[in-house]
Chains A and B, each alone.
Chain A
Amino acid sequence: MENLIALLVAAPLLGAAVLLCGGRRLDAVGHWIGTLMSTASFVFGVILFADLLGKNAEHRTLIQHLWTWIPVESFQADVTFRLDQLSMTFVLLITGVGSLIHLYSVGYMEHDERRRRFFGYLNLFLAAMLLLVLADNYLLLYVGWEGVGLASYLLIGFWQHKPSAATAAKKAFLVNRVGDMGLSIAIMLMFATFGTFAFGPVLGHATDASEGKLTAIALMLLLAACGKSAQVPLQSWLGDAMEGPTPVSALIHAATMVTAGVYLIVRSGAIFNAAPDAQLVVTVVGAVTLLFGAIVGCAKDDIKKALAGSTMSQIGYMVLAAGLGPIGYVFAIMHLVTHGFFKAGLFLGAGSVMHGMNDEVDMRKYGGLRKYMPVTFITFGLGYLAIIGFPGLSGFFSKDKIIEAAFAKGGTEGWILGACALVGAAITAFYMTRVMLMTFFGEERWKNQPTRSPEAPSAEPAAEHQGEHAEPHPHESPKVMTIPMIVLAFGSVFAGFFFNLGDRFLHWLEPVTGHSEGDSPLSAATVTGATMVCLVIGVGIAYAMYGRRPVPSVAPRGSLLTRAARRDLLQDDFNHVVLVRGGEHLTRSLVYVDHTLVDGVVNGTAASVGGLSGRMRKLQNGFARSYAVSMFGGAAVLVAATLLMRAV
């Protein structure tokens, strides 16, 4: 059964190879090949899952050793896959959601002439992501980590003819590099500390190392997680990443890749458990990001960017939970899975709306769409209810658990973190209600619209169609797009309930991540009640602001906070001022130092050596008598030295 594991990765990898190398003759069937490979991988995943379920909880770890990649003395890098409950969860999520999004993309990318390449990239992403979660050592994980970074870059910049997309891809890649550097340093530190980077030895003997080293490793891993999962301070790329096609946003920048950071933290739980300081940093990062993302999500009028803020915020929840240690690991992963369902569903819904609205992304130009696209409305609505944590839906179970776990952290930290999580829940309810109301309710603001002003930020893709569609005609998307949405909506509704029934998910993951109940000062019912109150407050405010009053189709100026939030809370300005300007100054001064000091020393040395040689070579005049003088002088010096030594 172990041999199937490699096929999980091999199928999409083969698909990517065939699609990317196959050339134009595969244009007609390329998308189906991609979908087939993805589905095949899903089927293998299901078979393996069934196999795992048939075993005892202790024996649910399958190892497949393929070959030794780098055998150098004690540096042994193996290509070994490890399939345990944690990996299995991810495999099912990745291949399942991935296959659905492949299917969706068949419809969404129908008119794109580079659809085959798109599916090749998607398959490449799947292969890399599976490699990431199946790797049995950090180095192989790093390969997958870089692979998804590459796929993400390629897919964000898929419409490379748009300068904004090309820039966004570059930005994502560069910001990710910062995190990748953290991961590579962490791996080096691990090798220096433990002499290996395989999961088993490193995590099994994590407590053997000093806490300082573990903290360093954990912080580097956190940096990596921040980069990949768009956490503060490396969050700036995610919003721009929405330049990619919507299925990409759904698959990579909502459901799977951005959760790799959470996977990394949970997988390295043993290290984090032994480094409480690092855990505290993780929770702080999570809490800050969940508020940050939520606030940004409130201010965005671009539906995808609002959802991107939401993604950031939800991953903040996961990271917060992962930082809580064994109390939170399981719930982090559970929220990750449910989030995978409902956020992918929401993005697909957003894509469906855009599909029907001539690629318009500004929510202020939507309104009242529920009549025109009922399936989208219902699936999006279910996703909406799930994310805000409506009782009984999946988000309710997973998010509630995280808030409970945050309080269970204990002490002042627990109160603060719990309060942050509660406030985040309220803001989540607010901005998601806002998105919902602006898109599907209210007056139909897209009607009788003058042609959009060319300055509009998203004018470009629509501008191409301006001649044919002066005014959008909202319509429901084809079946191939709605079916995945419906499936994901099912997941959004029932996954949480299913997972929580008899703590199923907890028992499933516990052997890998461990679990402890913690010591909550509040009862579970109190927390749930507080969450409900926050939920109602958030929804109420949003309804008051956007449901009862008409939404202006041009954004009002707004308060200072709103304007800041529209600019992503000045993250780019901060980066520009601190990093870009600072970097420029630094490089300029370094160049100056290089030119004057380093080059000065080097050139000075060269010049002085050259000048000295020029003088010295005159001593080599070829006259034996000159040389004899030197000899004679040397002899005189020797005699003098001898006499001096005798005299002393």
Chain B
Amino acid sequence: MNPVNYLYLSALLFTIGATGVLIRRNAIVVFMCIELMLNACNLAFVTFSRMHGNLDGQIIAFFTMVVAAAEVVVGLAIIVSLFRTRHSASVDDASLMKL
């Protein structure tokens, strides 16, 4: 097996995650899909690291995780406060940004 299959898997997971972001209304699930996309990217980075034979790709993946952690913290806080005010976690309910 060629390790490039990891990249195909990564692309597939990323696409699934992206589609999930677009079709799910629940903000938490949307968030999970974003996490899925990030993880797909991480897999690609790790594979690249293996391809190039150095650790830079893993470092990038590591930083991605850190940033993802920070993002999750803030994002979930936003969801919680959104839920407090609107009693709903649907992203469609926050649709004031229209003409």
- Residues of chain A whose beta carbon lies under 8 Å from any beta carbon of chain B: 617, 620-625, 628-629, 632
Contact = CB atoms under 8 A, between A and B. Distances in A.
Contacts, number: 29
Interface string B1-39: 000000000000000001001110100000000000000
Contact of B22 (A621, A622, A628): A628
Contact of B98 (A622, A625, A628, A629): A622
Interface string B52-91: 0000000000000000000000000000000000000001
A621 B22 CA distance: 15
A539 B92 CA distance: 107
Contacts of A625: 21-23, 25, 91-92
B21 A622 contact: no
26 contacts: A617-B99, A620-B97, A620-B98, A620-B99, A621-B95, A621-B98, A622-B95, A622-B96, A622-B97, A622-B98, A623-B91, A623-B92, A623-B98, A624-B94, A624-B95, A624-B97, A625-B21, A625-B22, A625-B23, A625-B25, A625-B91, A625-B92, A628-B21, A628-B22, A629-B22, A632-B18
Dominant secondary structure at the A interface: helix
A621 B21 CA distance: 17
Q: How large is the interface on B (under 10, 10 to 19, 20 to 34, 35 or more residues)?
A: 10 to 19
Given A623-B91, A623-B92, 10 more contacts: A617-B99, A620-B97, A620-B98, A621-B98, A624-B91, A625-B21, A625-B22, A625-B25, A628-B22, A632-B18
Contacts of A623: 91-92, 95, 98
Contacts of B22: 625, 628-629, 632
Interface of B: 18, 21-23, 25, 91-92, 94-99
Nearest to B18: A632
Nearest to B21: A628
A617 to B, nearest CB: 5
Contacts of A624: 91, 94-95, 97
Contacts of B92: 623, 625
Contacts of B91: 623-625
A266 to B, nearest CB: 72
A624 B97 CA distance: 8
A621 B98 CA distance: 5
A627 to B, nearest CB: 8
A625 B92 CA distance: 8
A21 B65 CA distance: 92
A328 to B, nearest CB: 78
Contacts of A617: 99
A621 B94 CA distance: 11
Nearest to A633: B22
Contacts of B96: 622
B15 to A, nearest CB: 10
A141 B22 CA distance: 78
